[in-house]
Chains A and B, each alone.
Chain A
């Protein structure tokens, strides 16, 4: 059975390349049994979104900031 460290590798790579079928299955299986990795997976996804958010979408706040 896959261990957490390996599972985090796959969670990370999933954001950068398509996983193979076997990788997908073993990751899904691991995630269904491991709460800590499930959290980790969510956090990787959040960091992934955060990077994309960093430019355009965060700016409109800036434009509304009150100017004295």
Chain B
């Protein structure tokens, strides 16, 4: 399963990092606490959060996450989007809240396994 698959299945908006839509997804993590994500998310995970500032990209890059999905229609700040384009790690956006979105992602990712 790649990032493009969840974009299509969940109707997500691609805010930035479209050059990374072919990144492999192996799981996910949902949290708004950066240290929690740093300590517990893993490589090739998709990260669901409401944080939109540049530090989410530092985390995504250091942890080699597959993509970030922002909830409730949030958009990344300009410098976050810029780094997302540079690194090819997509930032996506969903109109849904974290609970609903995480549930759907969990189902889709597990079906693909």
Asked if A and B bind, the verdict is no
Q: What residues of chain B have their CB less than 8 Å away from a CB belonging to chain A?
A: none
